Amino acid sequence: MVQTAADKATREVLGPTLARLAREGLDIVCVDADLGYSTSAVKFGREFPDRFFPIGVAEQNMIGVAAGLASCGKVAFCSSFAVFTPGHCFDQLRMAVAQPRTNVKLFASHAGVVTGEDGASAEALEDLTLMLSMPTFTVLFPADAVECEQMIEVAARTEGPFYIRSMRPKTPILFDDSHRFELGKWPLMRDGKDVTLIACGELVKAALDAAETLAGQGVEARVLNASSLRPFDREALLAAARETGAIVTAEDHFIQGGLGGLVSQALAAEQPTPVEFIGMEGYGTSGTWKQLLEHFELTPEAIARAAGNAISRKSR
């Protein structure tokens, strides 16, 4: 399943994918809050200028316009950064999209500490918590650009509110064209019987590298790509808990309220299991994205250490 290919940023696929889907006949529009070059939404706008609505630095207005277009039958995408959407427009999202289940799709770029040189103020680390607090939103976080393109298409073809989290840097391509993203399914990236590593976004690659390190120590680690956070793969999670007896979650987001919270809540209710958490516990800082992953210990080495801790806590 994992392949070697040129790195590509997940944010780079929005505009080209929307343009392809529009050519295929989907009635897509895109509302952009002044960040279309960074999210690649302008590539859709150049081909379909009458369907592209750049409204300036006005995220609250963006949600209102998108909700209005969706109420007229359009498939309405919004383009912004994760720190602004949902950060600047939570009330509009709650009232105009989540409660009435409006057919609005948020594509939020520059998420996580890997936003890097833009500094702490631009590093969205709360966005998954905010989006998961609204139960009608489907919430997705792709591991690579291949999966991101497929998520955008699924969102466009599926009625209801969506949130797709993307990142600034170019990251490794993990999937080939045979991969098929499915809502509510966590792809098995590597099988194992001793511990399960559950990761999302760029930390899926870190989890795979950690599993390779653990294999050298005689530990067989299962790796799951938690790209669909709502709906999430309860069946795969509970099977991992039963069959491996130890879990590690890894995410470029605050530990509270994201992947770790979903996993621990489900396990507490149905299959109590030792869980270790890799994620952010405070705000970020400035630096290259790779420097920040090292600084905040969002690394294969940290995941491997957490796996050892989780294994040591198994019931005897």
Catalytic residues: 59
DSSP reduced 3-state for 253 = strand
The region, left, alpha or beta by phi > 0 then psi within -120 to 50, assigned to residue 177 is alpha
Beta strand 275-280 pairing with 247-254: parallel
Q: Which residue matches tokens 């809540």?
A: 265
Rounded to 5 degrees, φ, ψ at 224 are -115, 140
Q: How many whole angstroms separate alpha carbon 75 and alpha carbon 227?
A: 22
DSSP 163-226: EEE--SS-B-----TT----TT---EEE--SSEEEEE-TTHHHHHHHHHHHHHHTT--EEEEE-
> Which among 219, 134, 150 is positioned nearest to 182, based on CA atoms?
150
DSSP reduced 3-state for 238 = helix
User: Are the CB atoms for 251 and 259 separated by under 8 Å?
Assistant: yes
List of residues 6+ apart from 305 with CB closer than 8 A: none
Q: How many whole angstroms separate alpha carbon 251 and alpha carbon 298?
A: 8
Rounded to 5 degrees, φ, ψ at 16 are -60, -35
DSSP reduced 3-state for 143 = coil
